[in-house]
Structure 1
Amino acid sequence: MSRNYKKLAALMLCSGLVLSACGGGNSNTNSQAQSAKSGTTAEAENVKAKITWLNLLHTASPPTDKVLSKIEEATHAEIEFSWVPDASKEERINTSLASGSLSDIVTLTILDNSSVRNALKAGMFWEVSPYLDEFPNLAAISQDTRNSASIEGKLYGVPFQKAKARNGVIIRKDWLDKLGMAVPKTTAELLEIAKAFTEKDPDSNGKKDTTGFMDRSDLVYGAFKTLGSYFGTPNVWAVDDAGIMTPEFETESYIQTMDYMRASFEGGYINQDFAVTAKNDQQQNFAQGKAGIYVGALFDSKNLLNMSKGIQDNMELVMVNDITSTGNEADRAIWAGTNGIGGLLSFPKSEVKDEKELKRILKFVNDIMNDDVYALMTYGIQDVHYTVDADMAVTIKDTDLWQQEVQPFSSSRPKEVGYKIHDADPLKVEAEKLIEENANYAVLNPAYSLESETNTTQGSELQKIVTDATYKYILGKIDLAGYKSEIEKWEKSGGSMIISEYEAAYKAINP
């Protein structure tokens, strides 16, 4: 009987998600399992810890056991995964929380879900702050990251550490060279490049068929928010020393960003349908040579270049991450998406019975953050799934095999940055370097971990007022007075209450 089949059978027999939650069995066996999990006896130190993990699956099927066995060997643990398809995660996690069908480790990525937040605040999961500094990899988690991942000042799990600030500007270097233009350092220089790419035939085909910016209908992950950083716009919210909160769209820098986008639109330096363009269409259009500036995630450069093969074979790209509106290094800034938090690895008290068990599981989480386990979960087994050169650059040997046996583990890594082993692709290497550099200039959202009941219940509806007003201003359908009128509508419809609630929550943990 295969190992995967045995896992499935056990799950079905126990009518739950977690093997350790099953009742019955020999009491001595249960005692040994508990001892192995907690590591409380000298004998248990020679036995693999038995750890169950309710985890998300971002691929079509779970991985085989080939890589898993290597991870278990490296962490001295026996891991039983209960995989939840990402598409149904909210429903499954809500059901598991309500029924108590949990695991030793529960992956929680939807921290804004009311059921998840209520479960965390209700004390269903261990508060881990007192224990992190006992383990070297966990101790290295910054205080900013811990604060951002906390709820009402308490950290109910190990944060998934994502790259804090992934965005920048990707430009056609071959077009810059053709027009004799330098890589921009300011927003004004970037706009001049956009104008030249629109008006000076950078692809030399004798037609006026190119634009500067190629953007999409997304004020966050498209161009707008990154450009906003260059003008000094706060990341969603700003807070002063007195704890007064100001939404980004009520700042002068937000208006400057709208003016910049409006000038680009009126001059024709941006695709005129950007407000209704999907991401895939944006990338396809860029790859087809219809524009020369892409503002978004820096690691998109590799995909854009790959997409251009056979269409724009002369395409060369340069990535820029140090643009400001003033030209002053001191003003350099870039917004941090979700403050670099991808969720939590949380530990329910119903499964993890005491501090000894908790510490053994925290040790396991610490161990999967080691370089060797990161390599296993990212690239697989050396010389089976990949080869590596003297510079620790990786080349995947068989993409299909990697996707089947390795890729499902990649979303389980508690930390994604700061490792020696890396992708061999030059654009990917450069993107990772710039993204790591971005962290030094990342602007956090001070309200990311705060509670606002009004925002929970009305936030999406109210945000639509702001989004619509922003697009209308950029497209020239309303003037500044009209924009401010819409912001007043936001305040009267519940925005003022959101501000008050966030201020109260901020002051409660920052007295």
Structure 2
Amino acid sequence: MRKSQMIAIKKVAAVVVSSAIILTACGGENASSGVYDANSKAEISWLNILHTASPPTDTVLNKLEEKTNSDITFSWIPDASKEERINTALASDSLADIVTLTLLDNSSVRNALKSGMFWEVEPYLKDYPNLAKIPPETIKSASIGGKLYGVPFQKDLARNGVTLRKDWLDKLGLEVPKTTDELMEVAKAFTEKDPDGNGVDDTTGFVDRNDLVYGAFKTLSSYFGTPNNWQVSEDGKMTPEFMTEGYMKTMNYMKDLYDKGYINKDFAVTAKTDQQQKFAQGKAGIYVGALFDSKNLLNMSKGVQDKMELVMANDITSTGNESDRAIWAANNGIGGLLSFPRSEVKDEAELKRILKFVNDLLDEDSYALMTYGIKGTHYTVDDKDAATITNTDLWQQEVQPFAASRPKESGFKIHDADPLKQMADKMIADNANYAVLNPAYALESETYNTQGSELQKMITDATYKYILGEIDANGFNQAIESWKSAGGSSIISEYEASYKATQS
């Protein structure tokens, strides 16, 4: 579908509300002549994920089109319903020239990729200066069955760490913790020693949320030496993380926090927005998550906790030894794929023109547009390429929705002027030196594809029950045995076979 046919959708930037209607409208009418001039204006439809409440207006889009010499027609799918909508679009072959696929472990997505529905792109990357710079390990992690069916979203490898109230540390005479034991002592002090000085017992050390991955649990598990999802031995044996000593140590640590009241009692049912609000309101002093959240937490505290000062830590271990530093890498640094369906992208010439468009999105100017907006309208920049947002409301409306569409999120000259964000970026770059990858990320397991989410829920539920004291170690081991008999053993054997095949 071309711009003339989708102008109404683009001008109002409509969120997809009926995949059966709008997604179908996006597909099936690529007027391909079979010959594409690399310098010609490209007409591109893009089925994309929306992570904000509303789609962007045309202000930045127009500039992006000018920069990339293209007419872009977006169809937006709200993030909350992306799995259902993408599955429907794949099943009906109602797609667009570019399809954002973020759920690479989804069985429908993986099966569609393996079926030949999308173009294999690795052989073409070398012909484009920015695409040619994608690291080989990124291509390997983003490949399905050894083939790359789209341009990978390049994310920072390991973004997580610990954010603490520096003003509370200073008041209580405490240092930034370097070990999990020291972190526990800080949590105790923040809970018991009235760090805000209001004379009321109304603070906890940690504030956490109902997320064992992006909340505190998985980052703490790195500090205890837990592998990232899976561990592979020298002889190719695969062990899931929850069957390792590090995972049990993490559960015991979290249980200790819970039993002693050093973490919010409702963490297992707390949403991320509520977690951040509690921190910003001074209800707790330790936040474990993405390091760049520190900037947002401080901004949220304005007018509520105006004396708040924050400090970050990314070098905590359970042993105190630098050699034991480790931090899990989310999806091995892969945020998904920009994929190109053969039903829409009819021939190699059209594919090459679309790849040029994606290559142009990786330019410095495109990154600045999709991150900060238009200079003088949304932000200013100093002589050191440090950018400051000058109109937050306008930026949220016109720029922020594009952030998740950037094919790469770091490594550019322009950067945030905020000191906390600069420190977070520095620590995230440092984390890459200690990142623990998931060795099974690019491996194949049909059982995992079809039953993985259901089986993982068994372990997630058992983990929460252990931390909350509803089951003991025997109960957790029983959950593992149930996981094995329900399909977990098949996942292990299938991953082992897949791993062996990659080594031959």
TM-score normalized with structure 1 length: 0.89
CA contact (8 A) 2:23 2:89 kept: no
Q: State the 1:20 CA deviation.
A: 7.5
Map 1:91-490 → 2, pairs under 5 A: 91-490=84-483
Letter in 2 for 1:355: E
Q: Secondary structure at the match of 2:46?
A: strand
Q: State the 1:123 CA deviation.
A: 0.8
CA contact (8 A) 2:30 2:346 kept: no
Q: State the 1:502 CA deviation.
A: 1.6
**CA–CA distance in structure 2, aligned partners of residues 197 and 263 of structure 1:** 15
CA contact (8 A) 2:118 2:341 kept: yes
CA contact (8 A) 1:170 1:295 kept: yes
Q: State the 1:252 CA deviation.
A: 0.8
Structure of greater Rg:
1
Residues 1:89 and 1:491: Cα distance change in structure 2 (over 3 Å) = closer
Residues 1:263 and 1:17: Cα distance change in structure 2 (over 3 Å) = same
CA contact (8 A) 1:14 1:22 kept: no
CA contact (8 A) 2:30 2:344 kept: no
CA contact (8 A) 1:21 1:103 kept: no
**CA–CA distance in structure 1, aligned partners of residues 310 and 44 of structure 2:** 45
Q: State the 1:381 CA deviation.
A: 1.5
Q: Secondary structure at the match of 2:123?
A: coil
Identity, in percent, stands at 71
Instruction: Give CA-to-partner distance per residue, 1:1-27, whole Å, 9 cap, x none.
Output: xx888623899999943488256xxxx
Q: Secondary structure at the match of 2:476?
A: helix
**CA–CA distance in structure 1, aligned partners of residues 252 and 218 of structure 2:** 13
- Which residue in 1 is equivalent to 2:25? 17
Q: State the 1:300 CA deviation.
A: 1.8
CA contact (8 A) 1:38 1:359 kept: no
Letter in 2 for 1:8: A
CA contact (8 A) 1:21 1:101 kept: no
Instruction: Give CA-to-partner distance per residue, 1:242-299, whole Å, 9 cap, x none.
Output: 2211000110111111222222223332223323333233222222222211111212
Residues 1:279 and 1:62: Cα distance change in structure 2 (over 3 Å) = closer
**CA–CA distance in structure 2, aligned partners of residues 222 and 197 of structure 1:** 19
Q: State the 1:470 CA deviation.
A: 1.9
**CA–CA distance in structure 1, aligned partners of residues 269 and 21 of structure 2:** 50
Residues 1:89 and 1:8: Cα distance change in structure 2 (over 3 Å) = farther
CA contact (8 A) 1:169 1:293 kept: yes
CA contact (8 A) 2:23 2:95 kept: no
Which of 475, 483, 506 aligns to 2:499? It is: 506
Q: Secondary structure at the match of 1:343?
A: strand
Instruction: Give CA-to-partner distance per residue, 1:381-403, whole Å, 9 cap, x none.
Output: 21122211112222223233323
Letter in 2 for 1:207: V
**CA–CA distance in structure 2, aligned partners of residues 359 and 68 of structure 1:** 22
**CA–CA distance in structure 2, aligned partners of residues 143 and 19 of structure 1:** 32
Count of aligned pairs: 494
Residues 1:213 and 1:4: Cα distance change in structure 2 (over 3 Å) = farther
CA contact (8 A) 1:194 1:269 kept: yes
Q: Secondary structure at the match of 1:411?
A: helix
TM-score normalized with structure 2 length: 0.90
**CA–CA distance in structure 2, aligned partners of residues 461 and 161 of structure 1:** 28
Letter in 1 for 2:250: T
Residues 1:401 and 1:20: Cα distance change in structure 2 (over 3 Å) = farther
Q: State the 1:221 CA deviation.
A: 1.6
Letter in 2 for 1:58: H
CA contact (8 A) 2:162 2:288 kept: yes
Higher alpha-carbon deviation: 483-492 or 334-343: 483-492
Instruction: Give CA-to-partner distance per residue, 1:181-235, whole Å, 9 cap, x none.
Output: 1111111111111122222222223333322222222221221111000111011
Q: State the 1:163 CA deviation.
A: 1.9
**CA–CA distance in structure 1, aligned partners of residues 458 and 341 of structure 2:** 39
- Which residue in 2 is equivalent to 1:7? 7
Which ranges in structure 1 are unaligned for 5 or more consecutive residues? 24-29, 40-44
- C-alpha root-mean-square deviation of aligned residues, in Å? 2.7
Residues 1:398 and 1:333: Cα distance change in structure 2 (over 3 Å) = same
Higher alpha-carbon deviation: 380-389 or 460-469: 460-469
**CA–CA distance in structure 2, aligned partners of residues 331 and 136 of structure 1:** 37
Letter in 2 for 1:170: T
Q: Secondary structure at the match of 2:405?
A: coil
Letter in 2 for 1:7: I
Q: Secondary structure at the match of 1:66?
A: helix
Higher alpha-carbon deviation: 185-194 or 429-438: 429-438
- Which residue in 2 is equivalent to 1:55? 48
**CA–CA distance in structure 1, aligned partners of residues 348 and 500 of structure 2:** 31
Letter in 1 for 2:194: D
Residues 1:289 and 1:57: Cα distance change in structure 2 (over 3 Å) = closer
